[in-house]
Chain A
Amino acid sequence: MNKKGYFGPYGGCYVPETLFPALEELDRVYQEVRTDGDFQEELKVLLNKYSGRPTPLYYAERLSDALGAKIYLKREDLNHTGAHKINNALGQALIARRLGKRRIIAETGAGQHGVASATAAARFGMECTVFMGELDIERQRMNVDRMRLLGAEVVPVSSGNKTLKDATNEAIRHWVAHVEDCHYIIGSVVGPHPYPSMVRDFQRIIGDETKEQIMADEGRLPDVVVACVGGGSNAMGIFYPFVEDGSVRMIGVEAAGHGVETGEHAVTLSEGRVGVLHGSRSYLLQTDDGQVIEPYSLSAGLDYPGVGPQHSFFKDSGRVEYVSVTDYQAVAAYGELCSLEGIIPALESSHALAQVSVMAPELDENTVVVVNLSGRGDKDMDSVRPFLLKEDDRI
C-alpha cells in the first residue's frame, strides 16, 4: 500500500476538497496512535473491561456433528452491544477525542454500527447523530430504540432505496457541512483513505485472538476461515492476520438475496465492475451507464453496493475466495444454529454459516473451520419471522 491508501489499484481518496483537511488530520492522528503505547493501552483496557474481550472461540460440537467438520465460532456476538462493530467504534471514539471533536456522526444499516457508535459516544460524553435509511429503520426497530436510549439522534434517510448506501451518502453530505466539529465514524473497511486501513486495524483483533485461541485448542492453524462480506469489516478483521498463512483457506460470503440470477442481490465482488463510490475505488454494483445499482439483501448489514477496497485486492490476487448465498439459505442457517447450539446468529453471520453448510459435503471430519459469528441475531427477528411462519406455525 502506498501513502495514498491504495491496495493494488483499489482505494484512494475520491472526495470533495472540503473533506481533505479532516482526512489528512485523521490520517496523521491514526498513524500516531498506531505506535502510541498510551493510546493502545487505553483501547485495550476498554476492549477488555468495557466490551468484554477477548471473545470466546467456541467449539460448536452439535453443529460440527451435523455438518461433518470441526466448526469453531468466533463469538463476536458476545461483545458489549452484540457485534464486532464496537471494536472499531471504541477505537475511533478515542481518536475523535484526540482530534478534539465533540460530535460523532455515523451511518448504519442493521443498526449494530449505529448502536456501537452511540454507545461509544455516550461513554465519552459526545453528541451522536446516526443516519439510517427509512427501510432499515423499519426492519431494525429495536436497534433504533437502543440508539435513541443511548442519547443518539437517529436521522431517517428517504432517498434511493432507503438503505445503507443512502444513509452513507447523507452522512458524507452532513460531514462536508460540519467537518470542523464532527468526526465521522465509518462502520466498515470502506470510504476514503485512511478509513479502510484504520477500520481494518481496529478489527484485526478478531483474527489475532482467533489465531492464538485455535493454536491453544487445536495446536495448529485453521484449515478454513469463513466470514460474511457487506462492506467487509468483520471479514477483514478475521482474515487480515491470516493473510500470510498460505495454508489457511479464506472465504468471504456475500448476500445473494433472492438469487444472483434475479438481479436482486448484493453480490458486489462477482457481479460488480470497478468504480468509485463513497470515496474509494473498488468493485461496485452499477449499471452500464455508471449509475450505482440499489442492492438487495434480507440482511440490512449486507445491503450495500460497494465493498472495502482491500477485499477487491484480495479477490484479484486470489488470496480470498468470494462466494454468495441467498436469503433463504441464510435463514435456514439462522434456524439451524438456534436449534443446534442455542445461539441466535445475526442474519449477516448466518450467510457465513450457510456457506459452511454448502461446503459440508466436501469437508473431512478433521477439517478445522472457523466461522466469524460477527453479531447476535435477536435484532433480526422481524425479518426472519415471515420465513419461519411458512415453515412452522408455532412462531
Chain B
Amino acid sequence: MRDLKVIFDGGTALIPFVMAGDPDLETTVSLVEAMVKAGADAVELGMPFSDPLADGPVIQEAGQRALACGTTLESVVKIAGEIAGKVAVPIILMGYFNPIMSYGVDRFASDLADAGVAAVIVPDLPFDEGDELHDALRAHGVTPILMVSPNIADDRLAEIGRRAEGFVYCVSLLGVTGQGSLHEGMASYIERVRRNVSVPLALGFGIDGPERAAQVAPLVDGVVVGSAVVKAVHGSGGGPKGVACGAKLIGEIASAIG
C-alpha cells in the first residue's frame, strides 16, 4: 500500500520504527506484522548504516547488530517487498545516504517501486543535496520525505514547505534519536511549521512511550516511535518474546493517542 494520505485520515497516525535485521530479517517481518495488528498505521523500516549521525545509542546499536548478522541494503529492500505484500499499511524506509549511493540511486528508486515501498527518509540528505535521489524516487512513484527541526530558519522552512510531499517529519528536539526531553516551545514550533507546510506533520525523536505520545498527539498528524520500540524488542531478548513486547508497546501507544 503506497498511499500515505490515508494514514492521516482518522486520528493521529502511529508510525513505529524498526531496524531491519535486528536481531534478524525473519523477526523483522514478524515484528512489523504484529505491530500493524496492534494499531500501527505505517511502519518505518531502518536501513542499517555503520555511521549514523542522527541516531542515539539505542538505534546505533540496533544498526550494528543488524550489520553484524549480515543485513545489507539489498536484503532490506527485499524484505520490504515481502512485508509490503503481507500488511495493508505503507512501508517507509529510513536510513543514510552512503549505502543508497553505493547501491545506485536509480536502481534504489526502481527496486523500491517494485517492492511497493511508499516513501523514503534520509536524515543526512537535506533538500539542497537531494535532487538526484528525490527526482529518481518521484519518477518511480516513491515519496521522498523531508525533515525539519525546531531551530530551522524561516527561509529553509518556506523552501521545505514548497517541496514537501507525503508528510513532513518534524524532529521533536535538538538532538539525536532517543534523547530525553522534547523541545520547550513545541506548540509554537509545530504552529510555525504548519504555517509553511500544507502536507501532514509527523513528529519523531524522543517519543518514549504512551504518555509522551498522548501529550504531543493533539499537536500533530502522526507520531513516530523508534528508540522505545527498539529498546522494548531488544530488551526482552528479541525473537518471539521481543515481537510480543514490541507489539504490546505499540498497542499501548495506539490506545493512548486514540
Contacts and interface: CB of A to CB of B under 8 A. Distances in A.
Interface stretch (B79-87, B112-120, B149-157): B149-157
Contacts of A273: 102
A24 B125 CA distance: 16
Contact of B53 (A4, A169, A178, A179): A169
Nearest to A287: B102
Contacts of B74: 289
B161 to A, nearest CB: 14
Interface stretch (A11-19, A131-139, A247-255): A11-19
Contact of A20 (B53, B96, B123, B152): B152
B126 interface: yes
B190 interface: no
B68 to A, nearest CB: 11
B153 A14 contact: no
A288 B101 CA distance: 11
A16 B55 CA distance: 10
Interface in B137-153: 147-149, 151-153
A16 B50 contact: no
B73 A290 contact: yes
A306 to B, nearest CB: 10
Interface string B13-51: 000000000000000000000000000000000000111
A165 B98 CA distance: 15
A165 B51 CA distance: 9
Contacts of B152: 17, 20-21
B8 interface: no
Contact of B101 (A15, A180, A275): A275
B136 interface: no
B124 A15 contact: yes
Nearest to A291: B50
Contacts of B126: 13-17, 20
Nearest to B103: A290
Nearest to B153: A21
B229 interface: no
A160 interface: yes
Interface in A266-285: 273-279, 284
Nearest to A288: B102
Contacts of B97: 14, 276
A17 B169 CA distance: 11
Contacts of A284: 98
Interface in A1-39: 4, 12-18, 20-21, 24
A176 B50 contact: no
A177 B102 contact: no
A94 B228 CA distance: 41
Interface residues on B, range: 35 or more
A225 interface: no
Interface string A347-388: 000000000000000000000000000000000000000000
B137 to A, nearest CB: 17
B88 interface: no
A26 to B, nearest CB: 13
Given A273-B102, A275-B102, A160 B50 contact: yes
B100 interface: yes
Interface in A167-191: 169, 172-173, 176-180
Contact of A179 (B98, B148, B174): B174
A200 B142 CA distance: 40
A175 B232 CA distance: 27
B203 interface: no
A275 B96 CA distance: 11
A290 to B, nearest CB: 3
A160 B147 CA distance: 27
A17 B98 contact: no
A173 B102 contact: no
B112 to A, nearest CB: 16
B151 A21 contact: yes
A286 interface: yes
A20 B156 CA distance: 9
A289 B73 contact: yes
A163 B41 CA distance: 41
A18 B171 contact: yes
Contact of B147 (A17, A159, A274, A291): A17
A10 to B, nearest CB: 12
B9 interface: no
Given A12-B129, A20-B126, A276 B101 contact: yes
Given A14-B129, A20-B126, A21-B151, A277 B102 contact: no
Contact of A290 (B101, B174, B175): B101
Contacts of A142: none
B210 interface: no
A292 interface: yes
B72 interface: yes
A16 B101 contact: no
B174 A176 contact: yes
B239 interface: no
B182 interface: no
B54 interface: yes
A176 B153 contact: no
B99 to A, nearest CB: 3
10 contacts: A14-B124, A16-B53, A16-B171, A21-B152, A176-B53, A177-B179, A180-B151, A276-B124, A286-B102, A290-B98
Interface of A: 4, 12-18, 20-21, 24, 159-160, 165, 169, 172-173, 176-180, 273-279, 284, 286, 288-292
Interface of B: 49-56, 60, 64, 67, 72-74, 96-103, 123-126, 128-129, 147-149, 151-153, 156, 171, 174-176, 179
Top-3 shortest CB links A-B: A290-B102, A290-B99, A177-B175
